[in-house]
Homo-oligomer: A and B are copies of this chain.
């Protein structure tokens, strides 16, 4: 049984690779919900949906949203003067409507995800990190922004002064999260943001401790190559969280208490010694995942590296 902790686009590629390498039946993805938010009265859960769509084989080539989707509804909403900067496609909108209706009728987020999973034909388990509302708030020199406002609407152009994750202290792990970590043969920390994706998951009370208790079975994959994030503005989030270094070694340091093995890019071999000094075993590999074969190959490397 393999458990993966994942954020959105970067995380879903790792999850997809693990599904390709080992099958979906023995795979559980625990997914960040800190990026969730309300759009047009609908609850939108970007990271959960990216992982579900990816596992279902219906994710768009760009890495988020439903394949071959149209945007007529969003265009119509723009016509009506509504902010239309968050790319919700027409087919995708059905997911948000269905989720919002289920939750209005009393379902937990994990019930919704399990329902979507079944409807989309996803065999892997997909768990939200928590059923409680958790919202990442970004403070910039301009003021406070919701996560997607900062990232998507404003293009992550501003420096971040601080990051606050509302509701995280009071959140409980979703049903099955602690159990999955406790019983996994292998736990993979996907190459998502250590601050606003993985950091949020680890911040759910009980999750970091559960992971630390299985440290020997935990293997991380660096989201940083050559001092640069593979995708997204991870460097801004790192600085916003008080880290001055943006490197594979810094990633390993953030995860050192929960992770015995850390996979970094071959070109970052010079950082291996620094990682070893943290008590973390470095593994060198090609960790870029531009396509399907590379995802599967990295997943096999991760599985083999963990033994």
Contacts and interface: CB of A to CB of B under 8 A. Distances in A.
Interface of A: 40-41, 66, 69-70, 72-77, 79-82, 89-95, 97-98, 100-101, 104, 115-116, 119-120
A91 B119 contact: no
A104 B70 contact: no
A73 B94 contact: yes
By Cβ-Cβ distance, the 9 closest A-B pairs, closest first, are A76-B94, A72-B90, A90-B90, A80-B98, A72-B91, A76-B91, A77-B94, A73-B90, A73-B93
A77 B97 contact: yes
A98 B80 CA distance: 7
B75 A91 contact: yes
A74 B101 CA distance: 14
A37 to B, nearest CB: 15
Given A40-B101, A100-B41, A94 B79 contact: yes
A73 B98 contact: no
Nearest to A76: B94
A28 to B, nearest CB: 22
- Which of A70, A75, A91, A120 has the most C-beta atoms of chain B within 10 angstroms of its own C-beta? A91
A70 B90 contact: yes
Contacts of A119: 79-81
22 contacts: A41-B97, A41-B101, A41-B104, A70-B90, A72-B89, A72-B90, A72-B91, A72-B94, A73-B90, A73-B91, A75-B91, A76-B90, A76-B91, A76-B94, A77-B94, A77-B98, A79-B119, A79-B120, A80-B94, A80-B95, A80-B116, A90-B93
Given A90-B90, A104-B41, A98 B82 contact: yes
Given A80-B94, A90-B90, A90-B93, 18 more contacts: A41-B97, A41-B100, A70-B72, A70-B90, A72-B89, A73-B93, A73-B97, A75-B94, A76-B91, A76-B92, A76-B98, A77-B94, A79-B119, A79-B120, A80-B115, A80-B119, A81-B119, A82-B98
Contacts of A104: 41
Nearest to A66: B76
A96 B89 CA distance: 16
Contacts of A120: 79
Contacts of A81: 119
- Max chain B Cβ within 10 angstroms of own Cβ: one of A76, A77, A104: A76
Contacts of A72: 69-70, 89-91, 94
Most chain B beta-carbon contacts within 10 A, residue among A90, A93, A98, A100: A90
